[in-house]
Amino acid sequence: MKRIKIFDGKEIDKIGFGTWTIGGLTQPAQEHDEQGLKILQSAIKIGYRHLDTAEYYARGHSEELVGQAVRESGIAREEFFITTKVHPGNLGYKPTIRAFERSLDYLGMDYVDLYLIHWPRRNMPLDSTFRAFNELVKQKRIRYVGVSNFSVEEMMQAQEYSDVPLLTNQVPLSVGDHEYLENGVLNFCQQNNILLTAYSPVKDIRGNHLEVLREIGEIHQVTPYQIALAWLVNQPGVITIPYSQDERHQADNFAAGEIELTENQMEQIAKLV
């Protein structure tokens, strides 16, 4: 698995594992816990160590299952990179602290590697929210901070209030969705040594996309979807967090981190809209 060096010299995997729908959607669905744990266990067995969740996912039940899967794996906690997120309804100093404490309880951990603001909202209290983030970083209960779905302007505001560099902005980006490429977010991240974490990385891939991706995939002897993921992580400062319930697809996604695309192939894919 390719890894990327971040601002403090440490490295993280370029392909992680998203957990939206594990544990339920906006409400817990414990009747599917066995399936959810099997999905997480197979991902960990394949080699995924960056697991991405949020308090919004199944109202914290996703966090519970992620924590359980990590503990039951027998692999040291320090080998994992765990990301979770605060809901925009819980922004502000005290609400953020309370939300973070709940997430730790659900995860059954004493720290998280990365804590994000899940979505921006109008008139959000970034100053007091980052006061909470800064305090939690000083207490070593959060290793890194970041944002999700933020515009360039919102990222600049967040930078003003954060005592530490932003590690990432997590946004939708794929061969079929170039919004955060076209709105300047990717360029801003690259210019400011901030990772762009692409979620929904194979969404909106249509027929004409598949034709080109399939042709390139035949050259590398991989699937079109692996090429779509490789296009993301071959870009400077981009990582991604695909999700799959199928163990074979999980393995394919993980292996996509090793694919080296040529400059011409990257340009071919970039022109697909």
Q: Report if residue 256 sits inside a domain.
A: no
Are the CB atoms for 194 and 158 separated by under 8 Å? no
Query: Any catalytic annotation for residue 144?
Result: no
Mean pLDDT of 218-238: 98
Q: Report if residue 228 sits inside a domain.
A: no
Q: Report if residue 71 sits inside a domain.
A: yes
Report the alpha-carbon distance of residue 233 to residue 260 in Å, rounded.
9
Closest to 126 in 3D by CA, of 101, 170, 98, 156: 156
| Average pLDDT score over the chain | 97
Q: Report if residue 270 sits inside a domain.
A: no
Distance of CA 186 to CAs 169, 203, 239, 257, Å?
9, 18, 12, 19
pLDDT for res 204: 85
Q: What is the DSSP letter of 174?
A: B
Q: Report if residue 72 sits inside a domain.
A: yes
Q: Report if residue 31 sits inside a domain.
A: yes
One-letter amino acid for residue 36 of the chain = G
- Give the tens place of pLDDT for each residue, 252-262: 999 999 999 99
- Give the tens place of pLDDT for each residue, 95-145: 999 999 999 999 999 999 999 999 999 999 999 999 999 999 999 999 999
Q: Structural domain tally of the chain?
A: 1
Q: Report if residue 78 sits inside a domain.
A: yes
- Give the tens place of pLDDT for each residue, 82-94: 999 999 999 999 9
Q: Which of 48, 56, 57, 106 is catalytic?
A: 57
The DSSP H or E segment spanning 181 is helix 179-182
Q: Report if residue 169 sits inside a domain.
A: yes
3-state secondary structure of 27: coil
Q: Which residue range(s) make up the domain with 167?
A: 11-202+237-243
pTM beyond cutoff 0.95: yes
Q: Give the pLDDT band of residue 56 (cuts 50, 70, 90).
A: very high
Rg (CA), the chain: 18
pLDDT for res 193: 97
The residue ranges of DSSP E strands in the chain, in sequence order, are 3-5, 11-13, 17-18, 50-52, 81-86, 112-117, 142-148, 166-172, 195-199, 238-240
Report the alpha-carbon distance of residue 223 to residue 244 in Å, rounded.
15
> In the block, which residue shows the tokens 């011409």?
264
What is the CATH classification number for the domain harbouring 35? Answer: 3.20.20.100
- Give the tens place of pLDDT for each residue, 153-195: 999 999 999 999 999 999 999 999 999 999 999 999 999 999 9
